Structure 1
């Protein structure tokens, strides 16, 4: 199964972009919801944090790549 990213909602405030999303991890097949934030080009949030993310490493990297491509950051 591939990682699936669903954007639930987002809001832009100045340089910040807040994104609520749900990710289905391709390796564990678990669905995890959370919020991440772009501050300029930088992406923050527990879902994409290299040590705190509940996602598998591949799903975390897939999610980061998807968000950067989707929002052009």
Structure 2
């Protein structure tokens, strides 16, 4: 496992789900905090964006999979 994901807080408003999280990237040895948002089934946010994310790519993909599984979306 290349990522350790900690959910700090989340709030659901209609079809939107806002999630504050902290991800520890084992590949780079850094911890990154940020916010992502589910709009229906779609996940948005710079933290998981393919080009803007500060996370290593395998960690970013693992974080996305974890969030989708954890929140059932």
Taking the aligned partners of 1:46 and 1:16, their CA distance within structure 2 comes to 16
**TM-score, scaled relative to structure 2:** 0.97
1:42 matched residue in structure 2: 42
Superposed CA RMSD in Å reads 0.9
5+ residue gaps in structure 1?
none
Which has the larger share of strand?
Answer: 2
Gaps of 5+ in 2: none
How many residue pairs match? The answer is 73
CA distance in 1, matches of 2:42, 2:26: 24
TM-score by length of 1: 0.97
Q: Which residue of 2 aligns with 1:22?
A: 22
